[in-house]
């Protein structure tokens, strides 16, 4: 959490907290990333964290979604909006565990070849 907050306070990323009725359920930190010698930019999910007591729970205030599904859905929506005026080609993230692959794959992400634990979701142009 401290690293995510530091990135945000240094303007290297944006920190978004998911709070329902004053209770923090999790947070996501995102930034814009560009590989060297490439013109394309990527929306990089640097951290995505859900508090243990809310993991795998469907939350009625989130229309029956899990907190992680809701946050990723918002990231995708914001990336699509950004891509209309900024050259963002995909959303990228590094999974914290192999157990998360099914969740991200269900949302359209796929593993990045030759990059262990990295997944990508191409954005339509």
- pTM (predicted TM-score): 0.81
Q: Residue 83 phi/psi, 5° resolution? A: -65, -10
Our CA angle for 7, 108, 19, nearest 5°, is: 45
Q: How confident is the model over 37-63, as pLDDT tens digits?
A: 677 788 999 889 999 999 889 999 999
pLDDT band at 28 (very low <50, low <70, confident <90, very high): very high
**Cα–Cα distance between 113 and 96 in angstroms, integer?**
17
Assign 10 a pLDDT band (cuts: 50, 70, 90).
low
- Tell me the pLDDT tens digit for each residue of 53-101: 998 899 999 999 999 999 999 999 999 998 888 888 999 998 888 888 8
Q: Which two tokens stand for residue 125?
A: 């142009």
Count of domains forming the chain: 1
Contact status, residue 82 vs residue 34, Cβ threshold 8 Å: no
What CATH code is carried by the domain that includes residue 6? 3.40.630.30
Domain encompassing residue 51: 2-122
What pLDDT does residue 11 have?
Answer: 54
Distances from the Cα of 57 to the Cα of 69, 104, 105, angstroms: 10, 16, 19
For the record, the structure tokens of 81 come out as 């909006």
Report strand pairing: 110-111 vs 118-122. Answer: antiparallel
């Amino acid at each position: 959490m401290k690293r995510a907050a530091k990135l945000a306070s240094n303007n290297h990323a944006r920190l978004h907290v998911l709070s329902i009725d004053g209770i923090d359920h999790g947070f996501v930190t995102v930034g814009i990333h560009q590989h060297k010698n490439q013109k394309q930019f990527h929306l990089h999910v640097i951290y995505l964290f859900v508090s243990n007591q809310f993991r795998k729970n469907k939350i009625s205030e989130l229309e029956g979604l899990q907190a992680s599904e809701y946050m990723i859905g918002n990231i995708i929506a914001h990336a699509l909006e950004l891509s209309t005026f900024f050259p963002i080609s995909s959303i990228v993230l590094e999974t914290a565990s192999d157990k998360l692959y099914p969740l991200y794959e269900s949302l359209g992400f796929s593993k990045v070849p030759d990059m262990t634990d990295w997944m990508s979701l191409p954005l339509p142009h």
